[in-house]
Amino acid sequence: MPRPDLAHLDDAPGDWYVDTRCIRCDSARHWAPGLIGMDAAGRSFVARQPVNEGETAAMWRAAAACPTSSIGNRRQPRAPAGVFPYPLAGGIYALGSNAMASFAAHSYLATRPDGNLMVDSPRYNRPLADAIDDLGGIAQILLTHRDDVADAGRWAERYGARVWIGAADADAAPYATDITDGDGPAAIAPGAVSIPAPGHTEGHVVYHLDDRHLFTGDTLHWNHRRGEPDVFPSQTFYSWAILADTMELLAALPVQWLLPGHGMWHNFGAGEWHRQMAALGPAMRQTGRESWARRADAPYYWY
pLDDT, tens digit, for every residue of 227-256?
A: 999 999 999 999 999 999 999 999 999 999
Q: Which of 219, 295, 297, 204 is nearest to 258 (CA)?
A: 219
pLDDT at 296: 67
CA distances from 44 to 20, 41, 101, 115 (A): 8, 9, 20, 37
For the chain, which domains are there? 4-73 (3.30.70.20), 86-293 (3.60.15.10)
Contact 67, 22 (CB under 8 A): no
* Residue 287: how many other CB atoms lie within 10 Å: 15
For 270, residues 6+ apart whose C-beta sits below 8 A from its C-beta are: none
Q: What does the mean pLDDT of the chain come to?
A: 95
Tens of pLDDT along 70-117?
999 999 988 888 899 999 999 999 999 999 999 999 999 999 999 999
Contact 140, 257 (CB under 8 A): no
Q: Which of 49, 77, 183, 65 is nearest to 123 (CA)?
A: 65
Contact 11, 71 (CB under 8 A): no
The HSE-up count of residue 283 (CA atoms within 13 Å, CB side) is 12
User: What mean pLDDT do residues 268-280 have?
Assistant: 95
pTM exceeds 0.75: yes
Percent of the chain with pLDDT over 70: 98
Confidence of residue 26 (pLDDT cuts 50, 70, 90): confident
Ramachandran bin of 4, using left for φ above 0, alpha for ψ from -120 to 50, beta for the remaining angles: alpha
Distance CA 29, CA 45 (A): 9
pLDDT at 123: 97
Least confident of 165-169, 185-189, 261-265, 299-303: 299-303
pLDDT at 225: 83
